[in-house]
Structure 1
Amino acid sequence: MQTVFSTVLPDVPRAAVIWLALLAVAATVVAALIVRPDRFRSVFGDRISEAARPSSIELAEQAREHAREQSRYAQEVAVAASRAAATAERRRAEWLAAQEEVEEAWRAYEAAEEDVRRLAAAASLPLPRTVRTPAEYADRERWLHRAALNAQWRKEITVQQLSDILGHRGWDPRRHPVEQELLLRRLVLDNLRARQQAAVEREQAAWRAAELAAAAAGSLRDEAYAATRPAAVPGSSLSLVDLTGPEATRELPPSARAVETTRELTPAARGRAAVPAY
């Protein structure tokens, strides 16, 4: 036993010194972590972030794949924008045609209104006296039927209204031709008024459709232009927020927006904004 103790005891101070040195180093590291945790945390975070970043070969492959996807998306959006522009041009042509229809219906209505005023002034005068014989009544009936047929041939009255006139439903063929013509022109005026109102409704619907088509074409055109611009390759999806600690938030400046070029357009009828052509 004395031999064993005599062999071990001389090494105890040396081991104690080594353990005390290790404890001192550990205490120094712990104190440094407590006093300056950001320095070591950033070092460890940078090392882990560097190890987690993709290599240059992977980054190049990601860039090529992103470029292919961007090119394919730009082509698809360009095709959609061209189709939307064609649709907008067709809707605008339909709206212009509806405008012409409204103008024509209004001119026809004004002409019919002038005829009604003229005939009303003539009917207010004393009518010429004629002998009321069967032949006279037959002439008046023939005149009414002929005037009704001409009006229907000009599309001024409907087939149903022509049938009512020929069948004497609501029409007295024994009236004087001046009175008959006034009643007939008033019927035509009512029909033209309804036709003009229907044309206005169709024009309004065509204008709304053209405006929506123009807005859609403009949006797709802007999107197609933005798709042709180079975009940044997305970085690594690994988040190192827990390792590097919270960063101070900064207010970023607002992104610049593309200013659309204004165009000088011819005003539409009745003060309505014209739909741009594409």
Structure 2
Amino acid sequence: MQTVFSSVLPDMPAAAVIWLVLLAVAATVVAALIVRPSRFRSELVDRISDAARPSSIERAERARVRDQERIRYADEVAVAASRATATAERSRAEWLTAQEEAEAAWQAYQAAEEDVRRLTAAAALPLPRTARTPAEYADRERWLHRAAMDAQWRDEITVRQLSDILGGNGWDPSRHPVEQELLLRRLVRDNMAARHRAAAQREQAAWQTAELAAAAAQSLRDEAFAALHPVAEPQTELSIVGFAGPEATRELPTGTASPEVTRELPPVARGRAAVAA
């Protein structure tokens, strides 16, 4: 036991001196951080930022890869934009055609309505008396069949409606031609009204399709332009927030005679007034 103590005790003063030196260095560093935290923090941040920042070769390579990817993406979007533009032009042409068809259907309906009003006024007058003979009834039937076939030839009535007239399904060939013409004109007017409603619905649907196609084409064009002309983003360096704790703030001396120092912020303009003319 005396041999062990005799071998350890001579080294105790040297170890104590080493520990005291280390404690002094640590105390000096801590005191320096407390007294001048900004200096050490800025130096440390600069060193870490320099170490984390990529080299010029790496930045050039990354920029070249980004440019290639951006150009490739812009080309793809430009192709899609050209196809969308062609689709928008075709949709617009279809809408214009549907608009013309709706206008033509409206004009046809207006003409049929005018015929109905004219014949209604004529039917209100006393009808001329004719002999009720088989020959007269045959003439009336021939007139009705000829007028119906002419209306079907002008595409004013359907083939089924013509078949009903020729077969006497709901039609009385023995009635006076004025009454028959009025009934036939009313049938034509109803057909024109139904065609106008269908044409108006087709025109509305074509207009919506054209609007959506135009919006899609414009969006793709804007995206292609943004891909070719990217907005430069501000470069931010690496920073350490709160490395040495919150900085010491110095308070203004408060006195009984001096008023409190305040500073009002100017009002921030919002809305359209915030934009310079």
Instruction: Give the TM-score of the pair, scaled to structure 2.
Output: 0.77
Seen in structure 2, the aligned counterparts of structure 1 residues 177 and 244 have a Cα distance that, compared at 3 Å, is: farther
Q: What one-letter code is carried by the residue in structure 2 that aligns with 1:226?
A: A
Q: What one-letter code is carried by the residue in structure 2 that aligns with 1:138?
A: A
Q: What's 1:78 paired with?
A: 78
Q: Which runs of 5+ in 2 are unaligned?
A: 247-277
Matches within 5 A, 1:30-109: 30-109=30-109
Whole-angstrom distance in 2 between the partners of 1:246 and 1:176: 108
Whole-angstrom distance in 2 between the partners of 1:17 and 1:244: 32
Q: SS at the partner of 2:157?
A: coil
CA contact (8 A) 1:63 1:233 kept: no
Q: SS at the partner of 1:73?
A: helix
Q: What's 1:203 paired with?
A: 203
Q: SS at the partner of 2:191?
A: helix
Q: What is the root-mean-square deviation of aligned Cα atoms in Å?
A: 3.1
Matches within 5 A, 1:102-181: 102-181=102-181
Deviation at 1:69, TM superposition (A): 0.4
Identity rate, percent: 73
Q: What one-letter code is carried by the residue in structure 2 that aligns with 1:219?
A: S
Matches within 5 A, 1:3-18: none
Q: What's 1:190 paired with?
A: 190
CA contact (8 A) 2:45 2:240 kept: no
Whole-angstrom distance in 1 between the partners of 2:175 and 2:16: 139
CA contact (8 A) 2:140 2:177 kept: yes
Q: What one-letter code is carried by the residue in structure 2 that aligns with 1:84?
A: A
- CA deviation profile, 1:42-69 (whole Å, cap 9, x unmatched): 4333322322222211111101000000
Whole-angstrom distance in 2 between the partners of 1:18 and 1:163: 121
- CA deviation profile, 1:153-182 (whole Å, cap 9, x unmatched): 111111111111111111100001111001
Seen in structure 2, the aligned counterparts of structure 1 residues 69 and 35 have a Cα distance that, compared at 3 Å, is: same
Seen in structure 2, the aligned counterparts of structure 1 residues 245 and 232 have a Cα distance that, compared at 3 Å, is: farther
Whole-angstrom distance in 1 between the partners of 2:180 and 2:28: 119
Deviation at 1:233, TM superposition (A): 7.8
Deviation at 1:136, TM superposition (A): 0.9
Q: SS at the partner of 1:127?
A: coil
Q: What one-letter code is carried by the residue in structure 2 that aligns with 1:188?
A: V
Whole-angstrom distance in 2 between the partners of 1:221 and 1:95: 22
Q: SS at the partner of 2:128?
A: coil
CA contact (8 A) 1:156 1:191 kept: yes
Q: What one-letter code is carried by the residue in structure 2 that aligns with 1:129?
A: R
Seen in structure 2, the aligned counterparts of structure 1 residues 245 and 156 have a Cα distance that, compared at 3 Å, is: farther
Q: What's 2:220 paired with?
A: 220
Instruction: Give the TM-score of the pair, scaled to structure 1.
Output: 0.76
Whole-angstrom distance in 2 between the partners of 1:230 and 1:46: 29
CA contact (8 A) 1:85 1:214 kept: yes
Whole-angstrom distance in 1 between the partners of 2:140 and 2:245: 101
Deviation at 1:211, TM superposition (A): 1.0
Q: What one-letter code is carried by the residue in structure 2 that aligns with 1:102?
A: A
